[in-house]
Amino acid sequence: MNVLVCIKRVPAPGARINLTDDEQHIDTRHLGFTMSPHDECAVEEAVRMVTEHGGSSTVLSLGPPEADEQVRQAISMGVDHGVLLEIDDIDWEPQATASAITEAITTLTSEGTTFDLVLFGNESPDAGNYQVGIRVAYALGLPIVSGIKGIEFVDGGGVRVRRQVDDGFELYELTLPAAVAVKEGLNLPRYPAIKGRMRAKKASVRTFTPDAGPGGLRKLRLRQPREQKTETTVLGHGPEAATAVADLLEELGVM
């Protein structure tokens, strides 16, 4: 069982998201970077699958050289191999991104690494285009289901995946190889162990430098949504506050 996980380096936002002066990007001066919670669940799932069924896991990211940090973050969580598609921008639009990932997967396959399952986070938290996974799967001729919060292997070699909907859930069965776009809630991702971090530090990450292919999506500018004002009401001090708290909880219907 070989699993590929595709992740994206994204800013970990503060309470307020600032934009750069040209309104093209999020101002990341004070921000750290991470992978999205969806991506983290994909990584966790890949690690669990390989632990359970054998094989190997690979993490792939397209991003600036600094995205090496997120690739190694995945390795520190237990992924075996890392691939970085290094670009000289923060990201590319989805079509070009998907082409580059497709090409990299094709290259890896031609070298003898075939992937039974390709996992994606459902969407990136910054761009939110919801389409890279679908484009890659389509280009590779793989079946894909998105919005997945449960994956299990079925006898005969396929996977059964679960998507949550308003009134319950939908079940899909896919034959392998396949692609799945997963959502936060799929599992509880582990924290990287210290040994994992040390292993990640020493791991060699394979780097490709793809050329940007054509893409139809162009960013004009970002806009700051209106800030939502929150109001704080002090319900009381000390034990005297208990009644007011109870009343409020009742009013909210949680008690």
Partner 1 sequence: MSTTPDHADVVVIGAGIVGNCLVGHLAELGWRNIVQIDKGPLPDPGGSTGHASNFIFPVDHGKELAMLTLDSQRQYEQMGVQTTCGGIEVARTPERVHELHRRMSSAKAWGVESSLLTPDEVKRLVPFINHAIVLAGFYTPSVSVVDSLRAGTIMRERASELGALTTLASTEVLNIETSEGRVTGVRTDRGDITVSTVVVACGVWSPRIAAMAGATIPLTPAVHQMIDVGPIPELLETRAEIAYPIVRDMDTFMYERQNGGDMEVGSYAHRAILHRPDDIPSIEEAQLSPTQLPFTADDFDPQMEDALELFPDILTVEGAGVRHGINGLLSLTPDGNPVLGETVEVKGLWSAAAVWIKEGPGVGRAVAQWMTHGEPEIDLHGADVARFYPHQRTVAHIEARTSEAFNKTYGIIHPREQWASSRPARVSPFYARQRALGAVFHEAVGWERPQWYESNAPLLDEFEVETREHEWDARWWSPIINAEHLAMRDRVAMIDLTAFALFDVVGPGALDYMQRMTVAQMNRPPGRIMYTPVLTAGGGFRSDLTVVRLGDDHFRIITGGSDGPRDHKWFTDHLPEDGSAQLVDVTSAYCTLGVWGPRARDLLSGLTEDDVSNEGMPFGTAKQITLGPIPLLAVRISYVGELGWELHAPMDRGLALWDMVHEAGQSLGIVPAGIGVYGTTGRLEKGYRLMGAELESEYNPVEAGLALPKVKSADFIGREAYLKARDEEPAAVMCTLTVDDHGSSEGISRYMSGGEPIVTTDGERIVDAKGRPSYVTSAGSGPSVGRYLLLGYLPPEHAQEGTQLAVEYMNERYPVTVAVAGRTPLFDPDDERMKA
- Please give the backbone phi and psi of residue 22, each rounded to the nearest 5 degrees, phi first: -85, 5
- What x-and-dash track marks residues 16-55 binding partner 1 by CB under 8 A? x-x----------xxxxx----------------------
The stretch among 10-18, 41-49, 122-130, 218-226 that binds partner 1 (CB under 8 A) is 10-18
Contact 136, 177 (CB under 8 A): no
195 part of the interface to partner 1, by CB under 8 A? yes
Which residues make beta-bridge pairs with 121? 182
223 part of the interface to partner 1, by CB under 8 A? no
Pairwise CA distance, residues 102 & 66, whole Å: 21
Pairwise CA distance, residues 92 & 97, whole Å: 6
13 part of the interface to partner 1, by CB under 8 A? yes
Q: How many residues bind partner 1 (CB under 8 A)?
A: 22
CB of 108 to partner 1, least distance (A): 27
CB of 133 to partner 1, least distance (A): 27
Contact 127, 91 (CB under 8 A): yes
The stretch among 51-59, 117-125, 151-159, 196-204 that binds partner 1 (CB under 8 A) is 196-204
CB of 106 to partner 1, least distance (A): 32
Strands 159-165 and 205-208, how do they pair? unpaired
198 part of the interface to partner 1, by CB under 8 A? yes
Residues in the chain: 255
Cβ-Cβ contacts under 8 Å for 230 (sequence gap 6 or more): none
Structure-block tokens of residue 182 = 């997963």
Name which of 70 and 131 has its Cβ closer to partner 1: 70
242 part of the interface to partner 1, by CB under 8 A? no
CB of 163 to partner 1, least distance (A): 29
Among 48, 162, 197, 206, binds partner 1 (CB under 8 A): 197
Alpha helices in the chain (DSSP H): 37-53, 68-76, 94-110, 132-140, 194-202, 241-252
Sign of the CA dihedral with 124 first, then 126, 131, and 137 last: negative
Name the residue type at position 92: W
Among 37, 69, 164, 208, binds partner 1 (CB under 8 A): 69
Burial annotation 159-189 (CB, 10 A radius, 16+ → b, else e): bebbbeeeeeeeebebeebbbbbbbbebbeb
Name which of 51 and 107 has its Cβ closer to partner 1: 51
201 part of the interface to partner 1, by CB under 8 A? yes
14 part of the interface to partner 1, by CB under 8 A? yes
Which residues contribute to the site for partner 1 (CB under 8 A)? 12-16, 18, 29-33, 69, 190-198, 201
